[in-house]
Amino acid sequence: MLNHTELNDLILKKIRSQSSQQENSLDRWYGQCYPVLIDSLSRERNLKSKVTIAIVATGSWVPRIITGDIDDELINQFRGYYNSIPNTIEEISIDPVNKKKKSNVKSNANTRFRLSEYYMHCNRLVNSVSIDRADKNASTVSKFMHFLSPTVFPIFDINIAKRVRITSSKSSINLSMNQYSKYIAAISVLKEKHDDTWRRIENLAEESECSPIRIIDKILFRE
């Protein structure tokens, strides 16, 4: 995993090189559909409908069919975590996944936010996974989390994982919550220690009418 200085240098290098890169069809597709998806999600007030839209959006950004599970019990368990999502990435409390602990979160706004338990709930909603697979599927889970909270959670896929040297694998199937949490921590430290770079990211975000978190995703996704 790149340290915060190496990540900073990589982002600056890619920002400088982007002006000479030509947009491809995938870039155009993401650029066209992303603002529509985010706008639709921001307008939706019913949580079950919002989750459904986010799952459909996630499915359109991955090369496989998503088989989610959005029954009312799962939505009610999810509600407490969703209502307690922090406002910024540096407020995320990173803790390890406990596969033996079955979470039974009640629906209230006072639930203490834990990344691992929120991740596990998201994974159940998006991928209908059992508890022994709850820490996997970071590529789909991170997209779902990002669509619901685009200013807080970054997208994490195999392209980004290789860029920041978290994995050398060619498959996104086994990307884990632990690897995703390292990526979140790296961005948080980048924001804290590299003010000039973060201001450049914020300026790009303002120009693109999206969040700084999304700008980082776009920068690191491309070759």
The identity of residue 114, as a single letter, is R
Q: Report CA 101 to chain centroid distance, whole Å.
A: 24
Sort 120 into a burial class: Cβ within 10 Å, 0-12 / 13-18 / 19+.
buried
Distance CA 199, CA 186 (A): 17
Distance CA 199, CA 207 (A): 12
Distance CA 111, CA 76 (A): 13
pLDDT of residue 132: 63
Torsion, Cα of 6, 213, 137, 172 (10° steps):
-50
Write down the residue that tokens 């599927």 correspond to.
137
Here the tokens at position 79 are 């509600």
pLDDT of residue 171: 77
User: Which stretches in the chain have pLDDT values below 70?
Assistant: 19-20, 96-113, 131-132
Enumerate the domain spans of the chain: 4-221
